Homo-oligomer: A and B are copies of this chain.
């Protein structure tokens, strides 16, 4: 906690074709624009609005991307950031570190991340070499809870994940993961102790990079705060299966913690991961930037839970976070990108 003043906020963005499966993700208004979501999210955190990406990511009902929350907290705390390209399918004008990772394949294919080993090792090397004493690590990858479920199943960990939809399509996700495991000739638990095998078979490139970063940072005694929900818990599982015994902590939102289908408390307890839950108090205002969260949409993503935890630990009242969130949102609506 003492390191927060200089903690660098790392955001790993990428795409997987898994997001194109009908009904899997709400991280975009429609499938043809959802592909831009990670690139736009990175630009929103860096610049306050999309710059090259042609859309402001919203869910089909108009819930704005949690990137808006992370940006709002960044404007209040002024933390340093680092965006990592883990298979972005669309160009971004956010500055990114390259990992060489390709966009992920549909998990129902034999190899969901054909270059998982290389992406994991590149990220591990980055995690080892960053000079920061403390990192927060978040993700933006539509379809990422399904691949997280796949990885948890492949490792033999508690197979439960959250959703960006109010009603978690868990049965659909489980069916997709079963197909993915079968296509990869892998049983549930068949990749225990082999994180790269789990990632390759049923993961996504963002998860490969987040896990590699976490392992590399742990090797150099860098404090890592996993900023997110069940996808980041899956990254913790991968790190544990890679042999990481260092303390790990995860900070997520009250929306994920309140999602019984996700059971993030059980998942983190199983993995010996310290859990922080922050409630931004969105029910205290009625505004298009927050109403859909109160109704159960989005819940988490783009480091939102970690950003809220950092704000809370720095003594910033959630009322200030909400005020700034409205400011950031209004700027986005007033100056939308030209598609």
Residue of B51, B83, B130 near A47 (CB, 8 A) is B130
**Scoring A residues 119 to 147 as 1 if CB is less than 8 Å from chain B, else 0, what string do you get?**
00000011001110000000000000000
C-alpha spacing A84/B95, complex, angstroms = 8
Minimal Cβ-Cβ distance residue in B for A42: B95
Query: In the complex, which residues of chain B have a beta carbon less than 8 angstroms from the beta carbon of A125?
Result: 52
Identify whether the interface residues of A are mostly helix, strand, loop, or mixed. loop
Q: Are A97 and B97 in contact (CB under 8 A)?
A: no
A98 within 8 A of B: yes
Contact with B along A19-53 (1 / 0, CB 8 A): 00000000000000000000000000001110110
A104 to chain B, nearest CB (A): 20
Question: For A93, what are the chain B residues with a Cβ–Cβ distance below 8 Å?
Answer: 97, 126, 129-130
Most buried by B among A48, A129, A130: A129
**Those 8 A-B pairs whose CB atoms lie nearest each other, nearest first:** A95-B95, A51-B129, A95-B97, A47-B131, A95-B96, A93-B97, A83-B95, A82-B95
12 contacts between A and B (CB under 8 A): A47-B131, A49-B131, A51-B129, A51-B130, A51-B131, A52-B129, A78-B78, A83-B95, A91-B98, A92-B97, A93-B129, A95-B96
